[in-house]
């Protein structure tokens, strides 16, 4: 169930109540004494943020020099409670000029009480958007003298539409000289590969980031090469789809601006975007992944004082593409003394702090094979040598205009009643998440 908070307390580090709000009558007004006695005075604050005392649960969080304590008497959703606290603090900061501490609370008692009445009703969280609340709670907080954040001087919007309508994340009256949309598809590849090149585990986590500078209230429609969306489009048009590779998206989550009803029926991503930068959606893919690199390592231990390391890295993406900031980390024993390298490109060195050989290639072309060879000298010890458990080789990279999942934007349509022209920019980036190869 949701939070269903019975009360919220704001305490200083001494345990004094700065401000509190009772939302239900199922807990007594002296519940804060139990928190102060059983948790604060025992200095047991850092072990667990959720504690049960009697028949109530205390969910607490420290922000600056203030403890925010949520008291619940039911089996509430703890994650939702902490999310509410974080959003509430962000709201207070937007009113106080970026500061939230004991002094800011003491200087803004009346405003905080008014906000607490708006953002929670009978213990259930309500709207916590600063942009919307500032439309009808226009009182300005007492700003901290250390805050340099300028006051928001945007023109007022239609508060009724913002609060009760479906577009609470965008205000009316926006005007830009040049209407532009920037879309980034950013993917992270997570891989675990065996020494012989067999994939043991592989998945891609991705997100679509957007930055919109559009006038008015535009309606955007995004088309991707996902399998379900293309099949639905083919049914509507009564003809087979002629698109190329299709992919299956798993664990998709959307920004609140996306019309979920339309997505469930038409399988298209339709939305009225927020102004500026936001994350449109996140997804995960487990099948049909195109790995950007293949790594073939060879590590031989030559007696007690020498090792021979050979690492071959091949880029699998197109020849016209290139990877940036490629880093290969090859683990070595702790008793390594030095290493002599031979590389076909880039630079390599021994990093004693990380116990690994670090090979860096600034720009790695596509369809290219590069190698690193190293002779590692070990310090001989009198202690009987234990078997060395080899950690996996790790890689870091960034490949522009490449997606490991194969996800592509088929179209991005912008419609606005005034009919202005827009410029759309699309970019693809693939990065290394946990890219590991056993050696």
Residue 246: pLDDT over 70: yes
Mean pLDDT of 137-144: 71
Place of tokens 């667990």: 48
Mean pLDDT of the chain: 84
- Residue-wise pLDDT tens digits, 99-115: 888 888 888 888 988 99
Give pLDDT, residue 160.
46
Determine contact, residues 346/324, Cβ cutoff 8 Å.
no
pLDDT tens-digit profile of 354-389?
999 999 999 999 999 999 999 999 987 766 566 678
If you average pLDDT over residues 55-59, what whole number do you get?
Answer: 84
> Is the whole model's pTM more than 0.95, yes or no?
no
Q: What is the pLDDT of residue 390?
A: 85
What is the model's pLDDT at position 154?
47
Q: Is the pLDDT of residue 156 over 70?
A: no
Q: Sort 258 into a burial class: Cβ within 10 Å, 0-12 / 13-18 / 19+.
A: buried
Contacts 24+ apart (CB under 8 A), 377-385: 377/305, 377/306, 377/336, 377/337, 377/338, 377/339, 378/304, 378/305, 378/306, 378/307, 378/333, 378/335, 378/336, 378/337, 379/305, 379/335, 379/336, 379/337, 380/304, 380/305, 381/335, 385/304
Look up residue 404 and give its two tokens. Answer: 């490991």
Q: 230 in helix, strand or coil?
A: helix
Alpha-carbon gap, residue 155 to 175, rounded angstroms: 12
Alpha helices in 107-169 (DSSP H): 109-119, 130-136, 159-164
Name the pLDDT band for 33 (thresholds 50, 70, 90): confident
- Which pLDDT band holds residue 45 (cuts at 50, 70, 90)? low
Unique residue bearing structure tokens 């920037």:
182
pLDDT of residue 44: 64
User: Is the pLDDT confidence value at 163 over 60?
Assistant: no
pLDDT at 3: 63
Which of 169-173, 174-178, 199-203 is predicted with the least confidence, judged by mean pLDDT? Answer: 169-173
* Structure confidence at residue 436 (pLDDT): 92
- The predicted pLDDT at position 266 comes to 81
CB atoms within 10 A of CB 376: 23
Nearest to 112 by CA among 135, 132, 139, 144: 139
């Amino acid at each position: 169930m949701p939070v269903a908070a019975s009360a919220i307390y704001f305490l200083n580090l001494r345990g004094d109540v700065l401000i509190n709000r009772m939302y239900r009558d199922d807990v007594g007004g002296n519940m804060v004494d139990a928190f102060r006695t059983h948790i604060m005075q025992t200095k047991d604050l850092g072990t667990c943020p959720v504690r049960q005392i009697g028949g109530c649960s205390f969910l607490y969080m420290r922000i600056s020099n203030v403890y925010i304590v949520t008291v619940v008497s039911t089996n509430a959703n703890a994650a939702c409670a902490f999310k509410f606290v974080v959003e509430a603090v962000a709201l207070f900061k937007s009113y106080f000029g970026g500061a939230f501490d004991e002094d800011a609370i003491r200087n803004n008692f009346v405003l905080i009480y008014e906000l607490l009445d708006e953002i929670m009703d009978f213990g259930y969280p309500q709207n916590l958007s600063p942009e919307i609340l500032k439309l009808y709670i226009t009182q300005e907080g007492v700003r901290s003298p250390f805050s340099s954040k300028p006051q928001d001087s945007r023109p007022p919007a239609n508060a009724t539409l913002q609060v009760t309508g479906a577009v609470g994340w965008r205000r009316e009256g926006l005007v830009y000289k040049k209407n532009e949309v920037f879309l980034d598809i950013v993917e992270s590849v997570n891989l675990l590969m065996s020494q012989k090149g067999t994939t043991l585990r592989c998945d891609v986590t991705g997100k679509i980031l957007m930055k919109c500078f559009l006038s008015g209230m535009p309606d955007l429609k995004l088309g991707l090469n996902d399998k379900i969306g293309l099949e639905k489009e083919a049914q509507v048009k009564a003809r087979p789809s002629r698109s190329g590779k299709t992919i299956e998206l798993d664990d998709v989550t959307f920004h609140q601006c996306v019309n979920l009803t339309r997505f469930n029926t038409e399988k298209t991503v339709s939305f009225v975007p927020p102004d500026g930068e936001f994350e449109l959606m996140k997804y995960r893919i487990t099948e049909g992944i195109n790995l950007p690199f293949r790594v073939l390592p060879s590590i031989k231990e030559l007696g007690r004082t020498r090792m021979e390391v050979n690492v071959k890295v091949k880029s699998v993406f197109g020849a016209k593409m290139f990877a940036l900031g490629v880093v290969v980390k090859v683990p070595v024993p702790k008793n390594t003394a030095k290493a002599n390298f031979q590389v076909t490109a880039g630079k390599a060195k021994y990093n004693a702090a990380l116990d690994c050989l670090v090979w860096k290639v600034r720009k790695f072309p596509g369809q290219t094979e590069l190698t690193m060879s190293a002779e590692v000298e070990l310090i001989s010890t009198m202690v009987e040598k234990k078997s060395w458990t080899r950690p996996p080789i790790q890689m870091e990279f960034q490949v522009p205009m490449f997606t490991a999942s194969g996800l592509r934007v088929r179209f991005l349509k912008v419609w606005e009643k005034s009919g202005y022209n827009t410029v759309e920019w699309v970019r693809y980036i693939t990065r290394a998440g946990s890219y590991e190869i056993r050696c």
